[in-house]
Amino acid sequence: MKTNQNSLDIFCAEKINKLEEGASFRKLKTTHRVAEAQSHQAGKSLISFSCNDYLGLSHDPTLLEKANEAARLYGTGAAASRLITGNYPLLEELEEKLAKLKNTQACLVFGSGFLANIGLIPALAGSDDLILVDELAHACLNSGARLSGAKVIRFKHNDCADLENHLTAQRKSSSKCLILTDTVFSMDGDLAPLPALRDIANRYESWLVTDDAHGIGVIGAGRGGGFAFDPPVVADVQMGTLSKALGSYGGYVCGSQKLIDLLVNRARSFVYSTGLPPMSTAAALAALEIIEQDPTLVDKPLAYAKHFCDRVGIPTPQSPIVPVIFGDNDTVMAVSEKLANEGFLVSAIRPPTVPDNTARLRIAFNASHKTADIDRLADLICAAKKEYGIV
């Protein structure tokens, strides 16, 4: 049969060659994650410092049991959009629990965090509106912003003065305005200055939208980034994921009942996508119960990150994510490979995931880590920093 495979492959090859020239071509690696932060990659058994399963819950016996039970009761898939027949009972139970955790009127669960952001933002903003997004915010906040058709400006990372300058210049000529930020930045581990952002949003009549993907379960006693502050900071729209510390899959938005009622009707990634599988919902519910009942577990990832930073002599971290920046793509790949030879899985993160010349190891701490392993990793990182002259 005649196809156009040839021109398509030429197009792909040209793109791939460019990526290879910049040492930024990526390949999938089969990874078999087993319990206790152990992973097998290419026949090697490694201790993973690259998973977002911060509490080790993705292999927790209770989550596994609840997921199995849910599949037996409700099936392996939701079978339709939630507005048709996909709204099986567990979903509302999960939404109630999340709303309670976040202290909001209501919550809506989406198929993933990415789907939540690309549905939510275009439901709230359009071509007459302004969206200000932190330059280091997650890719899916940017995707959602672009899909909305609003004017999008990226403000300097955690820089309230820069944000205010843009607002002074642009706010009057736009109808509505959204300020988008991560609560915990996924590649740097720092927190957004939420009290200041709340104040700015109030003064410029803008809606504050926070993405708490890396906060829930590990920051603010497990309630998320907004609760790391005293008093807690309440964003107008609080989005997050079930796919990280909760060890499951799916996304959510917490906020007022009116907001949720609108999203049920207008968020296209909600309306036109199949409901989350029952297993994922049940696992997330079980995870939330553990987070409520086990504050010692919740505190571990950040405590381990602090211990590591002390030993390496880098500033105290604000979250379980610690970046060690090497700058150059080839260097970071070499260090990551060296660590793999020592039994550690610490993935290299390269542009465009992070800004140019900031290729890094992103070290994510997990409640299942052992102090002896953390110490050995810290010593190896110190040696690598010295070898490459990184201060």
Ligand X SMILES: *Cc1c(COP(=O)(O)O)cnc(C)c1O
CB burial of 99-129 (b: ≥16 within 10 Å; e: otherwise) equals bebbebebbbbbbbbbbbbbbbbbbbbeeeb
Residues 284-343 that bind ligand X (CB under 6 A): none
Q: Which positions from 49 to 68 touch ligand X by CB under 6 A, shown as an x/- string?
A: --------------------
- The correct pick among 104, 210, 241, 248 for binding ligand X (CB under 6 A) is 241
Answer yes or no: are the C-beta atoms of 252 and 237 closer than 8 Å: no
**Whole-number minimum distance, CB 189 to ligand X, in Å?**
11
Binding of ligand X at residue 251 (CB under 6 A)? yes
- The correct pick among 46, 213, 349, 374 for binding ligand X (CB under 6 A) is 213
**Whole-number minimum distance, CB 280 to ligand X, in Å?**
10
Angle at the Cα of 186 from the Cα atoms of 181 and 228, rounded to 5 degrees: 65
Long-range contacts of 256-263 (CB under 8 A, 24+ apart): 256/104, 256/105, 256/106, 257/105, 257/106, 259/106, 260/105, 260/106, 260/107, 260/108, 261/106, 262/123, 263/108, 263/119, 263/120, 263/123
Q: Which residue's CB comes closest to ligand X? A: 113
Q: Which positions from 70 to 109 touch ligand X by CB under 6 A, shown as an x/- string?
A: ----------------------------------------
Pick 206 or 243: Cβ nearer ligand X: 243
Binding of ligand X at residue 347 (CB under 6 A)? no
| CA dist., res. 96 & res. 99, Å (int) | 5
Binding of ligand X at residue 280 (CB under 6 A)? no
What are the distances in angstroms from CA 21 to CA 83, 349, 357?
A: 47, 17, 15
Pick 60 or 211: Cβ nearer ligand X: 211
- The correct pick among 113, 224, 247, 278 for binding ligand X (CB under 6 A) is 113
Q: What torsion, rounded to 10 degrees, do the Cα atoms 366, 191, 137, 231 define?
A: 120
Residues 147-186 that bind ligand X (CB under 6 A): 182, 186
Dig out the tokens for 75 from the structure: 């099936």
- 265: DSSP letter: H
Binding of ligand X at residue 120 (CB under 6 A)? no
Binding of ligand X at residue 114 (CB under 6 A)? yes
- The correct pick among 138, 360, 362, 385 for binding ligand X (CB under 6 A) is 138
Interface ranges with ligand X (CB under 6 A): 112-114, 138, 140, 182, 186, 211, 213-214, 241, 243, 251
